[in-house]
Structures are given as structure tokens and as C-alpha cells.
Amino acid sequence: MKINILTNVTTPDIPAFVDVEKPTLREAMKAAFKGTSVFPDPSVMDREDFSFEEALELELNGKPYYSYEKGLDTELKEGDEMKLYLIFLGGGS
């Protein structure tokens, strides 16, 4: 199943779409971040205490993912659109 991905930045790490067999938001996120430096090990997304809010904001079809009853386990359908807003923190010296 093809799920479209939009981001607030252009990066070759994150694809424009993913193909997922198990159509949930969690699986689409894992596919999107597989092999990237953002989440080098996407299996961490399977943990119950997994949190990504410090690194990015996630919307599904224009609504925050947490507004869906099942959150990351929300089932997807063909043509759904994920929006990933990467959060950049300044700092350092």
C-alpha cells in the first residue's frame, strides 16, 4: 500500500512515499525512517514508551496523529498522507 509523505524540509533520507504491507501509521513511520540518521534503528518505534515529539511532529491527512483513537496504530488506506515536521534545535558553541 502506497502512503505519501510530506516534510517541512527536503532531505534525501526521507522518501516521498513508502510502500507498507501492514498498513498502520507505526509501520509507515518505520519504513520512512529505515536507514536514516533521524532514527537509525526504527525498531525503537515498537516500544511502548517510544516518544518522538522532541524530534518531529506527525500528522495524518492534516490531523495530529494523537487525535486518532489508535495513535500510531491507526490503520491506513491507499493514498493517505503523512506529514512529518522535523524540529530543529539550535545550540552548541
Report the distance separating Cα 23 and Cα 15, nearest Å.
Answer: 17
Bridge partners, residue 7, by sequence: 84
What dotted CATH number matches 2-86?
Answer: 3.10.20.30
Q: How confident is the model at residue 22 (pLDDT cuts 50, 70, 90)?
A: confident
At 21 the pLDDT is 86
- Structure confidence by residue, pLDDT tens digits, 42-75: 677 777 767 777 677 889 999 999 999 999 899 9
What does pTM read for this prediction? Answer: 0.78
Identify whether the C-beta of residue 53 lies closer than 8 Å to the C-beta of residue 64. Answer: no
Q: How confident is the model at residue 10 (pLDDT cuts 50, 70, 90)?
A: confident
At 93 the pLDDT is 54
Annotated domain spans of the chain? 2-86
